[in-house]
Amino acid sequence: MNPVPVILIVGTHLRKGVSLALEKAQAHVNEGVQAVIVEGGPGTLSAPPGVEMVQLAPGCVCCVGQLPLRVTVARLLRQIRPARLWIEVSAAGHLAELRKQLNGPGFAGAVKLYEGQPGASSTE
């Protein structure tokens, strides 16, 4: 099986109820089911048709939110097998640890990381 493209995005407007990942995922639903994980935000986001969204509780995905994030990624990969998985975090400081988690044991070979969108440079 080909690895699922995982696109990492920093969502600077999540607190205002705007998700860049949801907007980008919606533009790609014609390529298959899109999955979006949003860290934080107001809790009022809703996914359009063709997009499976999980909103994690606010908290650092590097420490207190690490386990919920890993479980959510694994569940989406197994159950949904999305064409793409978009992960939106609230701060750029989370990206290095997020890359480390997704390139580590458990996800190696199952995902291919990108920042922005596929076609951009891979983070491997």
Q: For residue 41, what pLDDT is reported?
A: 64
Q: Which domains does the chain have, with CATH numbers?
A: 4-115 (3.40.50)
Q: How many CB atoms lie within 10 A of CB 116?
A: 11
CA angle 15, 48, 28 (to 5 degrees): 100
pLDDT along the chain (124 residues), means of 10: 91 77 94 92 82 85 79 95 93 86 89 72 46
Sign of the torsion angle spanned by Cα atoms 113, 21, 47, 57: positive
Q: For residue 121, what pLDDT is reported?
A: 44
Which residues, other chains included, contact 95 with Cβ-Cβ below 8 Å and sequence gap of 6+? 8, 10, 89, 115
Q: For residue 89, what pLDDT is reported?
A: 86
Look up the pTM and report it.
Answer: 0.87
